Amino acid sequence: AQTVTQSQPEMSVQEAETVTLSCTYDTSESDYYLFWYKQPPSRQMILVIRQEAYKQQNATENRFSVNFQKAAKSFSLKISDSQLGDAAMYFCAYRSLSSGNTPLVFGKGTRLSVIA
Amino acid sequence: ETGVTQTPRHLVMGMTNKKSLKCEQHLGHNAMYWYKQSAKKPLELMFVYSLEERVENNSVPSRFSPECPNSSHLFLHLHTLQPEDSALYLCASARVGLDTDTQYFGPGTRLTVL
């Protein structure tokens, strides 16, 4: 079974600085998707960024980018120019492509604080 | 964000009560999910419905009973719950068949069982 590990329960960053959240996963599959979700204090889970495993190019969405290292099974999230609104729980998730409607497997999350 | 809505947002119930959680998606998706989010634990997938058919049930106790009457609505019926069932219950939906089947989440129902 696949597992997702987020080794940093909590992180903090100064406003306007850059922070990297780590995520590693364990799988024997070659085709899959990886996601970062953000859950602000209001509790609405929001998709931040996604990465297809077959793509070598790292995904980027504005200030959010990933460092996808397939061989190392690592999928870190970099937030540049951090803003107060970035404070939230961040979840890394994995989805297999093996068959049909496979569910997401989530990590335990990293709580990010942004210091003004 | 109004793509996936959940009601109620907060619920307090006794162990002998019967209540239902409701989820509605306005995204034209064909799959819906129930997750349980407890403190310091990964999100736990409870049920998956695809094309209104339950396709996964992750060993959830029978005191939780899902219902999916159509592709836009999902319910979670609760009865004789235990205090350890107190958690945030998240609903999500996705369009199965597209490349990523990205799941979109509702705001959740914060459930407290006394």
The answer to whether A97 faces chain B, any CB pair under 8 Å, is no
Residue A101 has pLDDT above 70, yes or no: no
d(CA A21, CA A6): 8
d(CA B113, CA A38): 27
A52-93: per-residue pLDDT in tens? 998 888 999 999 999 999 999 999 999 999 999 999 999 999
Q: What is the dihedral of CA A20, A22, A28, A31, to 10 degrees?
A: -30
Residues from chain B that touch A46, judged by Cβ atoms under 8 A, are 1, 105
Flag if A42 and B45 touch (Cβ within 8 Å).
no
B34-85: per-residue pLDDT in tens? 999 998 788 888 998 887 777 777 778 999 999 999 989 999 999 999 999 9
Flag if B45 and A4 touch (Cβ within 8 Å).
no
Residue B102 confidence class, pLDDT cut points 50, 70, 90: confident
Other residues' Cβ atoms within 10 Å of the Cβ of residue A40: 13
